[in-house]
Every structure is written in structure tokens, then in C-alpha cells.
Amino acid sequence: MLTLTLKEALQQIRQGKLSANELLEKCIQRQSKIKELNAFITETPDVAREQIKQISDSSTLKGLPVAVKDNFCTKNIRTTCASRMLEKYIPPYNATVVQRLYKQGGVLIGKTNMDEYAMGCGSIDSIYGPVRNPWKYKYKMRKVEKSKTAGPATQSTLHDKQRLGTRGTHSSAAQHDEVYNDDSDWFISGGSSGGSAVAVATGSCFGALGSDTGGSIRNPASYCGVVGLKPTYGHVSRYGLIPLVNSLDVPGIFARSVDDANILLNCIAGHDVNDSTTISDDFIPQQLYDEPSVKGLTIGIPKEYYVKELSDEVKQVWCDIADMLENNGAKVIQVSLPHTQYSINTYSIICACEVASNMARYDGIEFGHRADNNESTESLYAQSRHEGFNDVVRGRIFAGNYFLLRQNYEQYFKKALRVRRLIHDDFTRVYENGIDILLTPTTLSTAPSYRWFSQADNRTRTAEQDVFTQPINMAGVPAVTIPIRLSEDSLPISLQIIGQKFKDYEMLNIAKFIEQEVKFEHLKLNDIAHLS
């Protein structure tokens, strides 16, 4: 029952073959079964049970359970951002996207785990502990022998340290050697919205909300083998989303199919008077085609995404899908996004600046953690902030304040904004030249192991993990990641489809076409049956 897509479940409820109440109870059971994966910070089965009583038959979501990343405000339900600072924070209002899901008949099954304040790409920097990827959990189902990973391993020797710069010496491909056949290790979910990705992948809910600033939806969706949609900036309201980088944050969706993602997008998108950056044009929900086609479309393959660190398997998948599209009548051509290489550094600066600013409100006065310090107002601030934030958050605050100092502003922040404009213009130019969508990998490889991943710091990992996802946020265009097939290691490999501004539906139709062609086999739920 839990392997159904949202669309199928809705259909069966409409036909009277399934009851929403029954489905909810199944999901609650599943949710408690996967506790070990640490996907949820706060489970809210009782909230869902209350909500489902009020659901009308005509509602879109008919009481199907959804999960929400713990950086969206939920009225009367604590919202922690996985931080000590907000450990006890109970918002007095709902984020617009949460409110809209409720209104459309979604019920809240829980608030999902994440990196503290969404700063990270592994969902391991949470005060509640790391999220674990359900695929091949504890390697119990491991099929592949060590020798078969020789490909990626040898590839790591190709690494050019100069090219890597500050990304550290750990290659994304070297992982399997170090952790191989070790049952105490597991794969990371990706992040920062890892909890939402795991919740959807394990069948604990039929869809989930996440936020994507540099790849925080697409990265975990890719690693967990689910669909991850980052809509166009301005298409979905950020009101009630506790910000990371206001100018890049986009609320988005985890789903088991492209159609599901579209159904949920229709529920949450559109202008919001509370968010002045949402577009004011009337929003008209659209359905995807039953049988979309790519005939006559021009698909761009950005050459800058063809990097040395890219694992052979992912590269192969990328090529195969490009060929498949060509075989189905699309024109596939190589394009250039020349400023891609500057994106990560630009992002570091803009992110740090906005973080420094956004975090200024956490002084322990109006809300949030307040230290036990009565010496002076300043020392109260300092201690509350020191205790409340982890070192990743504090590091970005320091960096941001440095970049914003009068003597540094031009050199760092202003320059970063100019480069961001160039990155944005790269995409504009490509689309103006007749490209309909871009096809790229979502991540360099399949999900890395926790042991390997945690050997480098947050900054290093962010720089390497977000390399394919992060420029999209700079450009504000929509992107969706869909699982294509399993690696030889039986881990999901996904590709990213990058669309044009406010042409989210066109992009999703193409994603749906690919989805229908590849018939990705979702996580078999009995794979995680050994969980308590």
C-alpha cells in the first residue's frame, strides 16, 4: 500500500478502494518503524489523526500524510531548524506552504530532520544526530563485490589537487574502498533536507516539503532515489520558511513521481501577499500530459558539468539518457555555462552575508535559546548565540560580517553579486539561443558513506556536493532531479533537468517523459523490513 504514488493513492481513495484513514495508520506505523534512520525530529501522528477528521471529500489531497522539513513554521508545533537555538521554539503561525497543504487536505505526519539551519549537504549536522539513507541500510543487502568498484577507485587517482582547491583530498569516488563491507557504517541521505527525502523514500508519507538554497532538495532526493523539485524562485512563497539565504531559498517538494511533485506544486505555488518576492501574476494549476513527448525539443548538455570528479557510472547514465532523448526526437547539443566554476565561491560569500544578517535576530530576547547570563545585555547575547548555534553557523556568521564590513563590501559582497549576475546571464543566454532544458547529473556519485563523508568539514563537503545544483539557485531557474537507475552497488543514480524561469510545467513534462522511459525501481520496502 505504501509503495503507491500519491496520484495512485488518490485515485484508489476516489474509487473507494482505499481509505485515507487506513493509509494514514500505515504511514504512522512505517514512521515508527524507521526511527533508526532519524528522519523525523518531531513526529505528529496525533496532529494528523485530528486533521484527517476535518478533511472534505472534495479536497485535493484527501487526508494523505505529508512531512515538512523542520525549518517551515508550523503553528503550535515546535520548529527547531535542528538547532539548539530553536530547540523549544513553538511558532504562532503556519508557513504559507504548510497552510496551503493543510487547506488542500494534506495532514502533517511530522517535522523532518536536517542540517542545522539548512547549512550543510549531508543532514549530519543536526543536534538530533545524522539522518541515515534507507538504501542498503547497514549494507545488509549488499550485493556487489569490492572488485567491481575498481572503476571509481581508479578514477580517484585522476584527481588533480590543484583543481580541487579547498575541496579537500577526499574524492567522492574513493568512499567505497574505505567503508566496504562494514556493517557499522551507512550511507548519508544527503542534505540539507535529508529527513524529508528519507520520509518519502521509505513510504512514511506521500510527499514532503524541503527547502533548496544550493541543492538541499535535489541532493538528498538524488541520494535517496526520489523526485526532488526546486521550483522557480518566486513561484512558491517563502513566508514562514526560516531563511538560510533569502535571495536563493526556494521551498520545494519531495515525491515518488513527477506527477506527484506536480500535484503538490499545484497545492503550494502562487502569489502570497506575505511574500513580496512571489510573482503577482495569477497562478493557474496545470496537469502534466499523460504521455509527454520530447519530439522537437532542444536539450542542452552543459560542458562545464563534465568534470573529472564525476563518477563513471553517473557519467554513463547521463550519456544514456541524452541518447535516449535523441532517439525520441529531441535535439541534444552541447552548450556552455562559462561562469559555472565561480558559482561555489560566489555562493559562499552571498550565503555568509545573508546568514550573518538573518541570524542577527537570535539574541535570546524575544524567542529562542537564552543563556543564563545576567552580566550585561551584550554578554547575554554572546553566550546565547554561542550556545545556540553550532560551529558551522557561527563560522558563516563571522565570515558574513567580515565580508559586509565597509572596507570589504566592494571587494567581496558587491563582486559576488556581479558574478552572480554573470552566472544568471549564462542561463538566460543558453535559453535565448533555443535550448528548452538542460540535462545534467545531480551529484558527482551515488550516496557517500557516513564515515567517509564526516572526515571532511561542512565547508569542504558543501563545496563538492553542491557543484551541480548550486548555480541553478544563482540563476533562479527551476530544476528537478529524478532517479534513473541503480548503480552496480544498488544505490540510486539521478539526473537533473534544469528548466526556464516560470516554465516549471514544461520542465516537469520532460522529466515525466524520462521517468516513463527509465521505469526506476523504487526502494523496496521489504529492504528496510529488518528495522525494528
Partner 1 sequence: MATFMSMRFTSCKLCGHPVRRGIVNVSKLSKRYKATKLKQADTLVWEPVIGLEIHAQIAANAKLFSGASSQYGGAVNTQVSFLDSALPGTLPVLNKRCVEAGVTTAIALGCTINKVSRFDRKHYFYADLPAGYQITQQNHALANNGEFKYFVYGKYETDCVEKSARILQLQLEQDSGKSLHDDIAGRSLIDLNRAGCALMEIVTAPDFHTGSDAKSFVRDIKMLLVTLGTCDGKMSEGSMRVDANISVHKPGQPLGVRSEVKNLNSLTSVKKAIDYEIERQISVLENGGEVINETRSFDVDTGETLPMRDKELKQDYRFMPEPNLPPLRLYYTTDKSPSGTQQRVYVDILEKEIPMLPRDKRNYLIEKYGLNSYRANFIVNALAVELFDDLVKGKNIKSFSDFLMHQFLNLISQRDLTVAESNVMSSDIDKLYEWYQHRELSLENIQKIVTGLIEKQGASAREIAETLDLWQINDEKYLTDLCKQIIEENPKHVAKYKRGKKRALDRLIGQAKQKSNGKADLSTVNDILIKMMKTGAE
- Which of positions 385-404 make contact with partner 1 (CB under 8 A)? 401, 404
What span, in angstroms and rounded, lies between the C-alpha atoms of 221 and 443?
10
Q: Could you tell me the three cell numbers for 380?
A: 547575554
303 vs 421, which CB is nearer to partner 1? 421
Contact 102, 226 (CB under 8 A): no
Contact 9, 52 (CB under 8 A): no
Edge to edge, what strands does the sheet with 65-69 contain? Answer: 40-43, 107-112, 65-69, 208-212, 250-255, 227-230, 479-486, 492-498, 437-441, 298-302, 331-335
- Asked if 236 touches partner 1 (CB under 8 A), the answer is no
241 vs 523, which CB is nearer to partner 1? 241
**280 is an active site residue:** no
- Asked if 16 touches partner 1 (CB under 8 A), the answer is no
Q: Could you tell me the three cell numbers for 260?
A: 506527484
Measured CA distances, 328 to 67, 301, 323, 493 (Å): 36, 16, 9, 22
249 vs 259, which CB is nearer to partner 1? 249
What span, in angstroms and rounded, lies between the C-alpha atoms of 36 and 377?
41
Binding mask 52-91 for partner 1 (x = CB under 8 A): --------------------xx-----x-x----x--x-x
Within 10 Å of residue 58's Cβ, how many Cβ atoms?
A: 7
Binding mask 341-380 for partner 1 (x = CB under 8 A): ------------xx-xx-xxx-x-xxx---------xx--
- Which of positions 268-297 make contact with partner 1 (CB under 8 A)? 273-277, 280-281
156, 172, 189, 216: which is the annotated catalytic residue? 216
Beta carbon of residue 233, minimum distance to partner 1 (angstroms, whole number): 11
Stretch in the footprint of partner 1 (CB under 8 A) among 146-154, 405-413, 420-428, 460-468: 405-413
Q: Could you tell me the three cell numbers for 240?
A: 514562514
DSSP element (H, E) containing 210: strand 208-212
* Residue whose entry in the numeric block shows the C-alpha cell 548550486: 470
Q: Where are the beta strands (DSSP E) in 368-478?
A: 437-441
83, 123, 156, 192: which is the annotated catalytic residue? 192
Beta carbon of residue 112, minimum distance to partner 1 (angstroms, whole number): 16
Q: Could you tell me the three cell numbers for 26?
A: 500505515
Measured CA distances, 197 to 151, 202, 210 (Å): 28, 9, 8
* Residue whose entry in the numeric block shows the C-alpha cell 558559482: 343
**69 is an active site residue:** yes
Q: Is the CA virtual torsion 209, 215, 216, 219 positive or negative?
A: positive
180 vs 367, which CB is nearer to partner 1? 367
Taking only Cα atoms into account, the Rg of the chain, rounded to an integer number of angstroms, comes to 22
Out of 21, 76, 246, 334, point to the residue binding partner 1 (CB under 8 A): 246
**216 is an active site residue:** yes
231 vs 234, which CB is nearer to partner 1? 234
470 vs 494, which CB is nearer to partner 1? 470
Out of 53, 58, 92, 157, point to the residue binding partner 1 (CB under 8 A): 92
Beta carbon of residue 375, minimum distance to partner 1 (angstroms, whole number): 11
Positions marked active-site? 69, 192, 216
Q: Which residues bind partner 1 (CB under 8 A)?
A: 72-73, 79, 81, 86, 89, 91-93, 95, 238-243, 245-247, 273-277, 280-281, 353-354, 356-357, 359-361, 363, 365-367, 377-378, 381, 401, 404-406, 409, 413
